[in-house]
Amino acid sequence: MLKELILKNRSFRRFKEGERISPEQLRNWIDLARCSASARNAQSLKYVLVTEEADCEKLFPLLAWAGYLKDWSGPAEGERPAAYLIMLNDREISDNYFCDHGIAAQSLLLGAVEEGYGGCIIAAVNRKKLSTLFNLSDRYEVVQVLAFGKPDEEVVLEEMDGDDYKYWRDEQGVHHVPKRSLDDLIVS
């Protein structure tokens, strides 16, 4: 069951924007992250829930989408995320969140996938404008943004050809993600 969730958990970048996500759903996924491992158990990650359409529209231009797709500027209207979580580090708890952001993001995304949603971790963020937009205190460092919605694209895994790891889209808009073989990952 876990492998099935992991295989379904792709970086989705196009969504059925009209299918909204409630703050309660986001809170349930945050609870999964809360219960996940945390380096030194400091638990310094915090979240801003963004579910209102107007707030989602203001946040969207502060994000960069799919760096390898040079001719694509991100999801069009109607394909944009229905909700976001802005992941913050609370500097009053710790200046270093170590690997917690990856562990938390995986837990959040797996929770979404289990309920038929999908998401994308976005680290290319205009942090200064985002902090201003949401009136964030200097105590909070913007770590990354997670976009969520009902996926509206097909994402498939491909065997990697040589060392070419760049994802791509075909003529039908199917998103292809090359993966190294299991044997390539094991050092003997």
Contact (CB, 8 A) for 159 and 51: no
Angle (CA) 111-115-118 rounded to 5° is 70
Tokens of 137: 């205190």
The answer to whether 186 and 159 are in contact (CB under 8 A) is no
Is the separation of the CB atoms in 78 and 17 below 8 Å? Answer: yes
Query: Would you state the structure tokens that stand for residue 174, as one six-digit string?
Result: 């199917």
pLDDT in tens, the chain (188 residues): 999 999 999 999 999 999 999 999 999 999 999 999 999 999 999 999 999 999 999 999 999 999 999 999 999 999 999 999 999 999 999 999 999 999 999 999 999 999 999 999 999 999 999 999 999 999 999 999 999 999 999 999 999 999 999 999 999 999 999 999 999 999 99
